[in-house]
Structure 1
Amino acid sequence: MENEQLKVFDDNKNHIGVATREEVHRIGYWHEVFHCWFVSKEGDTDYLLLQLRSEMKKDYPNLFDITAAGHLLASETVQDGVREIKEELGVNVSFNELVPLGVINYHETKGNFIDKEIANVFLLKRNLAFEDFTLQDEEVAGIVKVKFKDFADLWLSDREAINIKGFKLNKDGTTCLIDEYIGRDQFVSHPLSFYQTIVQKIRVNL
């Protein structure tokens, strides 16, 4: 995975070549990623679905994150990003189903790990049950749902915790139910502005 070839860009987002994933995060090149947030409706309530990252992940293990996300390879277009949904979650989605939310540029630096992402962000509005997911266990450890209003309050106000419900894969292949309260510290540490922008973009497209 560290040897995957990615397109890289300068600070003005001009394409300047190709580099390995390891180089991208060590040197700090801007690179393209694909994000897809799932929203499911139950009655009049909109729920956001989140993934729990596997403990085997090198970056941000055991934290809650975007429903499906991944790097776009040098040979791929944005439309090819739907493969991440199938690979990680086992859900078949066509690109035409997705609602485009735009491109968000953001960066995080943690020690020697520099992550400068050009995120192509999409929304999938589909009513899914937990049974519809087949998880790639080395990438995703579980799926949970949260009321979108609660998620918005967590990032846009001073709310400290929100209730999540879902399931987690055990090491023996069985599953256990999740029903707990979590705060911002249990999410991948994307910049606060990123989460706030996501909330606003999803809200206008519900």
Structure 2
Amino acid sequence: MSEQLQIFNDQMENAGIKERKQVHKDGNWHETFHCWCYQPSEHGTFLYFQKRAADKAEFPSLFDITVAGHIEAGEDVISAGLREIEEEVGITATPDKLFRIGTYKEELVIQGGVDRELCRLFLMQVTPDMKLETSDEVVDIIRITSDDLSNIDERAVPYRSVITGDAGLMERQDIVPHELGYFKYLLQQLEKKVEKL
């Protein structure tokens, strides 16, 4: 059975349930879980990106949020998030590891429609006992500093794979085209969180 999603009108009121493909085709607002893994260090704060598999329908082979997925109708955001974290990067997380940083409304043009997301954003600190893994949907996981992310529109920035150890350069065009405001919001919230550590 295909994914059924809760949809919302422009006033963010419940507007029923609809099949995922139809939601994107019709451009309905719907909820998604976004979790950014981060790691403070003496070299700055690292943010982790997944590299999407080449066979993904949307944005194949681009770097994206560490873990992201749709929240199915009737599913709460934390349960959806824990499920997605395990499916995509192989970590069995607990609710206390997730730090909610808010909701960001984002619209992305995709093949066959518009993806209008109410992004429920979370941070999760990577600790030494966590072993990030790849999956069918994720072919690599890399990390860059938050300072480098803030400069990615101006220059290529260095990254290192946490899976293979390989290094490379990332440019803006290598990342799923999230709005500039999305990354600004993320970096502001990350800075607030790291200041409290």
Q: Could you say whether these structures have the same fold, taking a TM-score greater than 0.5 normalized by the shorter chain as the test?
A: yes
Alpha-carbon shift at residue 32 of structure 1 (Å): 0.3
Once structures 1 and 2 are overlaid, which stretch shifts more, 143-152 or 30-39? 143-152
Once structures 1 and 2 are overlaid, which stretch shifts more, 113-122 or 36-45? 36-45
The residue identity in structure 2 corresponding to 1:53 is: R
Alignment partner of 1:204 is 2:192: yes
The match for 2:142 is 144
Q: Give ranges in structure 2 of 5+ residues lacking alignment.
A: none
Distance (whole Å) between structure 1 residues aligned to residue 120 and residue 101 of structure 2: 8
Distance (whole Å) between structure 2 residues aligned to residue 132 and residue 126 of structure 1: 9
Alignment partner of 1:125 is 2:125: yes
Distance (whole Å) between structure 1 residues aligned to residue 150 and residue 37 of structure 2: 15
The match for 2:49 is 50
The match for 1:162 is 157
The match for 1:29 is 28
- Counterpart contact for 2:58–2:110, Cα < 8 Å: no
Distance (whole Å) between structure 1 residues aligned to residue 167 and residue 180 of structure 2: 25
Alignment partner of 1:179 is 2:177: no
Distance (whole Å) between structure 1 residues aligned to residue 118 and residue 39 of structure 2: 26
Question: Which deviations, in whole Å up to 9, do the C-alpha atoms of 1:150-175 show, x marking residues without a partner?
Answer: 11232xxx53111011066xxxxxxx
**Which SS does the other structure have where 1:132 is aligned?**
coil
Q: Equivalent pairs: percent with the same residue?
A: 30
Q: Number of paired residues?
A: 193
The structure-2 alpha-carbon separation of the partners of 1:35 and 1:13, relative to structure 1 and needing over 3 Å to count, comes to same
Alpha-carbon shift at residue 44 of structure 1 (Å): 5.1
Distance (whole Å) between structure 2 residues aligned to residue 46 and residue 177 of structure 1: 18
**Which SS does the other structure have where 2:151 is aligned?**
helix
- Counterpart contact for 2:47–2:143, Cα < 8 Å: yes
The residue identity in structure 2 corresponding to 1:149 is: D
TM-score normalised by the chain length of structure 2: 0.91
- Counterpart contact for 1:33–1:72, Cα < 8 Å: yes
Distance (whole Å) between structure 1 residues aligned to residue 8 and residue 55 of structure 2: 29
Q: Give ranges in structure 1 of 5+ residues lacking alignment.
A: 169-175
- Counterpart contact for 1:40–1:128, Cα < 8 Å: no
Distance (whole Å) between structure 1 residues aligned to residue 121 and residue 95 of structure 2: 12
- Counterpart contact for 2:142–2:162, Cα < 8 Å: yes
TM-score normalised by the chain length of structure 1: 0.87
Distance (whole Å) between structure 1 residues aligned to residue 42 and residue 110 of structure 2: 41
The match for 2:106 is 106
Alpha-carbon shift at residue 45 of structure 1 (Å): 2.8
RMSD: 1.8
